[in-house]
Amino acid sequence: MSLLAMMSPLLSGVDLTPGQLAELRAINALYYTRLATQSGEPNEREPALEGVVLTRVREMLRDDQRAIFDRNRRARPPGQARESDRFEPHS
């Protein structure tokens, strides 16, 4: 799954600053670099990597943006929830 496709519903309603957009591009590069260099079966490595991405994206947000992000995560249909969604947000 594309990182931007994965993050788009979670960032719905969040207006990112130019700095945050740059950080999102950096996270995107990190995601694809790690995905390309990790060994193991894709089904084993992707959930952990997606957890790292979710954490990094959430951490770059301001408190008000983080509240929207968290609400969007909770509102996702069960079929869209992933193993990486089990991390507990640090507020």
| Residues in the chain, overall count | 91
* Rounded Cα gap, residues 35 and 37, in angstroms: 6
70 token code pair: 């968290």
pLDDT number for residue 86? 43
HSE, side-chain direction, 13 A CA sphere, residue 65: 14
In tens, the pLDDT along 80-91 reads 555 444 444 444
pTM: predicted TM-score of the whole model, two decimal places: 0.74
pLDDT number for residue 45? 58
In tens, the pLDDT along 30-80 reads 888 888 887 766 656 577 888 889 999 999 999 999 999 999 999 987 655
Q: Which residues contact 77 (CB under 8 A, 6 or more apart)?
A: none
Alpha carbon of residue 12 to chain centroid: 12
Query: Looking at the predicted structure, is the pLDDT value of residue 14 above 50?
Result: yes
Domain boundaries, the chain: 3-77
